[in-house]
Amino acid sequence: MSTLINILVLGAIWGALYSLISVGFTLIFGVAGIINLSHGAFYMLGAYLAYTFITVLEMNVLLAALLAVSGTAAIGMLIDRFGIRPMRDTHVYVLIITLAFSLFFQELMYAIYGPHGKAVKSFVSGDMVLGDVHVSYQKVLTFFVAGALVVLLRFFIKKTKTGRSIEAVAQNRDAAVFMGIQPERVYLTTMGVSAGLAAVAGVFIAPILEAVPTMWVFPLFKAFAVVIIGGLGSIEGAIIAGMLLGYSETMVSVLISANYPDMVYLVAIILVLVLRPRGLLGKRAH
């Protein structure tokens, strides 16, 4: 019984977190058509900025979280403006420059905080008890924040004017230009939103895992896996696939061995790309 509760609860929490990381990744692909390998670095920056503001500067948690998220969003927009815009249509270049930025931020954090993990104290203390399973309130909070943000993002895209201009560019860039939308401005906004979402995940993960300089690699490729499974550019697909990945990793970890959950997303990427390259909900893959 406790195994079942464990799988249900932990799977939901990790699933929500993966969905949160992946929606930004899929958004910037769907809109600007680029694979942003800095996405994991935004997640890492979120965690490190949270550490800086909360533990080092001892700020109020809410203010610190807002600063960390908006700071990361600003960095994302700077990268888009000065790193990606000059060569946006060259796939190889975008992959390489965003990878180079990730390595740069990794070394920057390494130089400032060293190789060892930096822990942030939990935003809320205590455990929730379900049967004989203990789940920290920090994880519960993470679940609700991630879920709320993913829902809010959908609302933002469908209902607000900025969101609809984002969707317009994603659907047909040329037609959007004729409607008076400036694509470069939309790309910039999208990158800000996408980086901000990754940073939120980073801020909330900092108390659960620790912040380390190499923490950007696996979330990046898990987001890649989620987005490939869900179909590149599909937000609904990313949410469903994120939950799927969360649950399957937890099941493997609880039922088989703690060694294997990291294998799940690697095998998933390979299987999906070999068997069904367009993903679960994606349109035709190129």
Partner 1 sequence: MLNLNGLYEPRYINKRLLWLGVFGLAVLLAPLVVDDIYYLELLFLCHYYVILACSWDLLTGFTGNVNFGHAFFIGGAGFAGALLNLHLGWGFWLTLPIGGLVAALCGLVVGSFTLRLKGPYFAAVTFCFATLLYKWIMIRYEIFGGEEGLSGIDWLMETSAGNYYFSGLLMLAVIFVLYLLSKSSFGLILRSIGENETASLGSGINTTFYKIVAFMISAFIAGVAGAMYAHAQMHVGPEMAHDSLSSLVLIMAVVGGMGTIIGPIIGAYLLTLANESLRFMGEFRLLIYSSAVVAIILFAPKGLLDIFGRGFRRIAGQER
Choose, by CB under 8 A, the member of 48, 101, 187, 204 that binds partner 1.
Answer: 101
The answer to whether residue 128 forms part of the interface with partner 1 (CB under 8 A) is: no
d(CA 283, CA 32): 16
| 130, 179, 209, 285: residue in contact with partner 1 (rule CB under 8 A) | 285
Two structure tokens written together for 275? 């068997």
Which residues, 206 to 245, sit near partner 1 by CB under 8 A?
217, 221, 224-225, 228
Cα angle 240, 15, 48; round to 5? 125
Which residue, among 153, 162, 149, has the nearest Cα to 201 in the 3D structure?
A: 149
> Residue 240: what are its φ and ψ, rounded to 5°?
-60, -45
Least separation in angstroms between CB 193 and partner 1 = 21
DSSP conformation class of 51: I
Q: Does 106 bind partner 1 (CB under 8 A)?
A: yes
Report in angstroms the alpha-carbon separations of 104 from 100, 109, 204, 205.
6, 9, 23, 21
Residue closer to partner 1 by CB (options 41, 49) is: 41
Q: Closer CB to partner 1, residue 61 or residue 108? A: 108
Nearer to partner 1, 130 or 285 (CB): 285
Distance (Å, rounded) from C-alpha 145 to C-alpha 66? 13
Binding site for partner 1 (CB under 8 A): 35, 82-83, 86-87, 90-93, 95-97, 99-101, 103-104, 106-108, 110-111, 114, 217, 221, 224-225, 228, 259-260, 262-263, 266-267, 269-270, 273-274, 277, 285-286
